[in-house]
Amino acid sequence: MTQELSTTAPEHLPRQRGDWWRDAVIYQVYVRSFADSDGDGIGDLRGIRERLPHLAGLGVDAVWITPFYASPQADGGYDVADYRAVDPLFGKLSDADDLVREAHRLGLRVIVDIVPNHTSDQHPWFLAALAGGPERAYYHFRPGKGANGELPPNDWESVFGGPAWTRAAVPDGDGGTSQPEAGGEWYLHLFAPEQPDLNWEHPAVSEEFASVLRFWLDLGVDGFRIDVAHGMVKADGMPDIGLREQAKMIGAQVLPFFDQDGVHEIHRSWRRLLDGYEGERIGVAEAWAPTAERLALYVRPDEMHQAFNFQFLRCPWDPDRMREVIDASLAATASVGAPTTWVLSNHDVVRHPTRYGDGPAGLRRARAAALLMLALPGSAYIYQGEELGLPEVTDLPDEVRQDPSFFRAEGQDGFRDGCRVPIPWTRSGSSHGFGSAGSWLPQPDSWGELSVEAQTGVPGSTLELYRAALAVRREHPGLGAGDAVTWLDAPEGVLALARDGFLCTTNTTGTEVELPVPGTVLLSSGAPGFGDGTVRLPADSSTWWAI
Ligand code: GLC
């Protein structure tokens, strides 16, 4: 049975300001896995520069590059030993400079990742701290509990599993240390032991980060993605939580180590710093907050420009839940005058075609979700390979895994190597064009057919769908503008959201749904069938209409 779409006129949604980031489509490059220019099996900065035409051709506005700084790579570069140097694995400082310049020449902005919650345990500060220098105060060292200090100072758990504390050796006063067992203090690491948390109460820490931000802004970057932006401040007294499996509570409740009110002062100071630069340099908070309202605090007018909307990423393929999350996200960010950001995948989560159900249905839904996301007001993030419809790689052998959470977790799922497999550029050849000497994680053989080469020019391919969607979004700037959508009445399981002169219908059901033709098709993730004044929306598909 067909129900009619309501004819309520969509609201006019004026663009609030001309700021580029409000509706920008930003492409995430996971540097190790994008393109390898020197044949060591690991992606690098020159590889990214050589592939920038792909991003310009795709039609994105900006590229966010995950950390490429000097690092022992205990957590894929999120353990930084020198914030002003490029790791030799990824190139030289001049490669970063060339990359930024070439991106700008192609009309792409560049956002780099900054990791302020923790350093590497090989950072000179931490080495000096272990040796008993004044840098000890830049981290969180505490005596242990128990008769001999043999128990961690509190019950906090690492996000990667196990206790969030490691016992350090006792400094011997000569710049050396004794063995850890010999009664040393414990240091806090909310992630791996190789990532000691910084003490943001110490002024040297904030001064150093302001200087690091300036270093990269002076080099010409357009902004920062702020890693663990909700983590820098810990609750006074570091109280016990009293519950196990704390990683599962992240983003569901406020924990004494995350989303503390004090972090906002840091974001305010960084906003002042960003605003002091020419051009619109932005900050994007990777903040896990329990509600859309608490997340909105990070994007108040004097704080960051954007925050990732993980509630949308976490939402299952369920029309009611999706609508609820979209409305709640829009309302929360509108309340502070910020744009909402939409994200479906990144380097920390299972790729969304697999999350939505493996096989053909998962891919159909992923394509439909992409059109739904790109029809929403605000900014959208695309994770490399998403435009190819890549699934999660679920059968990596243990011996190739590198994610620290794989080695630390007990019975947790969600290991992150499966979404980090290098992306395929060509049908055949070594690592499908990723590089000349294989890839640090093996690609499935079937990925040749998902490569950029195999999908280019093929009507209906996922790559051409993304290209077309981004082209339509550019032609209709109203698409990313505004801060609300109008939902039209639609048959069960169909979402129909209207913007100014535009409609997106998403059939979330596993069967075809028939509707009166609502307008002229601009683009579809399926192949709608037309009858006498009616359209049959294919299962798990989105269609864009001019109305
Ligand atoms: C963020 C990053 C993740 C990293 C963690 C610790 O969540 O996205 O990849 O492991 O921070 O830096």
Q: From first to last of its 547 residues, what are the pLDDT tens digits of the chain?
A: 333 343 333 333 333 345 999 999 999 999 999 999 999 999 999 999 999 999 999 999 999 999 999 999 999 999 999 999 999 999 999 999 999 999 999 999 999 999 999 999 999 999 999 999 999 999 999 999 999 999 999 999 999 989 999 999 887 666 666 665 556 999 999 999 999 999 999 999 999 999 999 999 999 999 999 999 999 999 999 999 999 999 889 888 889 999 999 999 999 999 999 999 999 999 999 999 999 999 999 999 999 999 999 999 999 999 999 999 999 999 999 999 999 999 999 999 999 999 999 789 999 999 999 999 999 999 999 999 999 999 999 999 989 999 988 887 665 556 899 999 999 999 999 999 999 999 999 999 999 999 999 999 999 999 999 999 999 999 988 889 989 999 999 999 999 999 989 999 999 999 999 999 999 999 999 999 999 999 999 999 999 999 9
3-state secondary structure 402-428: CCHHHHHCCCCCCCCHHHCCCCCCCCC
Contact 432, 447 (CB under 8 A): yes
Clarify whether 194 is annotated catalytic: no
Q: What is the pLDDT of residues 69-80, one digit of tens each?
A: 999 999 999 999
Position 254 scores a pLDDT of 85
Q: Whose CA is nearest to atom 9 of ligand 1?
A: 348
Is the CB of residue 227 below 6 angstroms from any atom belonging to ligand 1? Answer: yes
Position 253 scores a pLDDT of 87
Position 415 scores a pLDDT of 84
Centre of ligand 1 to C-alpha 352, Å, is 18
Position 5 scores a pLDDT of 40
Position 111 scores a pLDDT of 98
Position 13 scores a pLDDT of 32
Distance, in Å, from the CA atom of 237 to the CA atom of 74, rounded to the nearest integer, reads 29
DSSP E strands: which ranges in 215-371?
A: 223-226, 282-285, 306-307, 341-343
Centre of ligand 1 to C-alpha 228, Å, is 7
148: its two tokens: 């001999």
Is the CB of residue 349 below 6 angstroms from any atom belonging to ligand 1? Answer: no
Q: Whose CA is nearest to atom 4 of ligand 1?
A: 78
Q: How many CB atoms lie within 10 A of CB 272?
A: 11
**Radius of gyration of the chain measured on its C-alpha atoms:** 24
Task: Tell me which amino acid residue 338 is.
Answer: A
520: its two tokens: 């002229």
Is the CB of residue 415 below 6 angstroms from any atom belonging to ligand 1? Answer: no
Contact 110, 62 (CB under 8 A): yes
Position 178 scores a pLDDT of 64
Position 177 scores a pLDDT of 67
Pocket test for ligand 1, best of 112, 195, 227 (most atoms within 8 A of CB): 227
- Return the half-sphere exposure (C-beta side, CA atoms, 13 A cut-off) of residue 24: 26
Position 12 scores a pLDDT of 31
Helices assigned H by DSSP within 462-513? 462-475
Distance, in Å, from the CA atom of 17 to the CA atom of 15, rounded to the nearest integer, reads 6
Catalytic residue among 36, 121, 222, 227: 227
Distance, in Å, from the CA atom of 125 to the CA atom of 186, rounded to the nearest integer, reads 16
Residue where the block lists tokens 């570091």:
238
Is the CB of residue 69 below 6 angstroms from any atom belonging to ligand 1? Answer: no
Closest to 81 in 3D by CA, of 32, 126, 122, 140 = 122
Clarify whether 286 is annotated catalytic: yes
User: What is the pTM assigned to this prediction?
Assistant: 0.95
Pocket test for ligand 1, best of 66, 123, 228, 383 (most atoms within 8 A of CB): 228
Which ligand 1 atom sits nearest the alpha carbon of residue 190? Answer: 6
The partner residues of 283 in beta bridges, in order of sequence, read 224
